[in-house]
Each structure stands twice: as structure tokens, then as C-alpha cells.
């Protein structure tokens, strides 16, 4: 069976072979390959080609099954990973919200404590001024007390000497009095 080649002046656009036609052709080749050993190897090169095509089809089908199996495993792994990541994202968002609430609460605490610190600082400055005034008063009172004490000590000393002189004079002149 010879095919005549037809040449035209314009290039021909190849039309894709429909998948169904390709499938039928493969089945026919496989059937022929299976029938070749039965027919006693009538066409040895054609039989070999058919056998090679059959072997190739078996190999391609096996590789396709392996690829499908690997695809299913990979798909399951991706789905599990996606679920894990989704859970981690939700957990992370919840943590962020919780931490933001904690930050807001702590900022409020900082604000109230800052106001309390300012109030206490004002009270401390008032107390320090009161302490300084009290210290000044105590210093003045001490100076006044020291002066009075010294004067009274001198008076007591003078009185004791006077008493001593009077007692001696009374002993001497006491007989004359």
C-alpha cells in the first residue's frame, strides 16, 4: 500500500487528530500486536513495531498510574499543609488580637500610673517644702533655746556663787547677827 504525496504551492495546516480517533488507532495497533504472535509473525518488522508500541503503551499506562498516585499523595500533602497553615493563621490572628488588647490595657495602666507619679511628685515637693520650713523653725527655736539656756545657766551659776558667799558670811557673821 503506497500513498502518493501531494504537493501544493501553499503550505498545509495540520489539523489535530481527534482524541477518539487516536484512541481507536492505538486499540487497533494493540490488537494487531497481540494478534501478531498468533498469526505466526507474518510481518516481522510490523509485528516488532506493534509489539514495541504495545510495550510502550503498557509503560506509559504504568507511568501514568504512578504519576496519578504521586499526584494524589502530593495533593493530600498540600491539603494537610493548607489546613495546618490556615489553623496557624487563625491562631496567630487570635494571638495578635489578644496581644493588642494587652497592649491597650498596659498603655492605660501606664497612663494612670504616670498621673499617680505626677501627683506623688507634687506631694513630695510640698512635703519637702514643709520639711525645710520645719527645719528652719527648729533651727531658730534651737538658737533661741541655746541663748536662753546659756543665760539661765549663767544666772544659776551666779546664784549658786551668791548662795555660797552668803552661807560663808552667815557662818562668820551669823554669830554676830
- How far is 94 from 90, CA to CA, in rounded Å? 6
Euclidean distance between CA atoms 107 and 101, whole angstroms: 10
What does the alpha-carbon distance between residue 171 and residue 149 come to, in Å, rounded to a whole number? 32
Show the beta-strand stretches assigned E in 11-145: none
On whether the CB atoms of residues 19 and 25 are closer than 8 A, the answer is no
Helix (H) or strand (E) segment spanning residue 152: helix 44-173
Convert the pLDDT of each residue in 76-105 to its tens digit: 999 999 999 999 999 999 999 999 999 999
pLDDT tens digit sequence for 121-132: 999 999 999 999
Q: Tens of pLDDT along 7-62?
A: 444 445 444 555 666 676 677 766 666 665 555 545 688 888 888 988 999 999 99
pTM score, two decimals?
0.39
Residue 4 binned pLDDT confidence (cut-offs 50, 70, 90): very low
Amino acid at each position: 500500500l503506497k500513498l502518493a504525496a501531494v504537493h501544493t504551492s501553499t503550505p498545509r495546516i495540520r489539523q489535530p487528530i481527534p482524541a477518539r480517533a487516536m484512541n481507536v488507532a492505538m486499540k487497533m495497533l494493540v490488537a494487531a500486536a497481540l494478534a501478531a504472535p498468533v498469526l505466526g509473525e507474518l510481518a516481522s518488522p510490523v509485528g516488532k513495531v506493534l509489539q514495541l508500541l504495545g510495550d510502550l503503551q503498557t509503560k506509559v499506562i504504568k507511568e501514568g498510574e504512578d504519576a496519578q498516585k504521586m499526584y494524589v499523595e502530593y495533593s493530600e500533602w498540600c491539603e494537610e499543609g493548607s489546613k495546618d497553615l490556615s489553623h496557624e493563621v487563625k491562631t496567630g490572628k487570635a494571638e495578635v488580637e489578644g496581644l493588642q488588647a494587652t497592649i491597650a490595657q498596659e498603655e492605660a495602666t501606664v497612663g494612670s500610673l504616670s498621673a499617680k507619679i505626677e501627683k506623688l511628685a507634687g506631694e513630695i515637693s510640698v512635703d519637702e517644702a514643709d520639711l525645710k520650713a520645719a527645719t528652719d523653725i527648729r533651727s531658730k527655736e534651737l538658737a533661741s533655746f541655746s541663748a536662753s539656756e546659756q543665760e539661765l545657766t549663767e544666772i544659776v551659776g551666779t546664784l549658786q556663787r551668791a548662795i555660797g558667799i552668803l552661807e560663808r558670811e552667815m557662818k562668820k557673821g551669823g554669830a554676830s547677827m
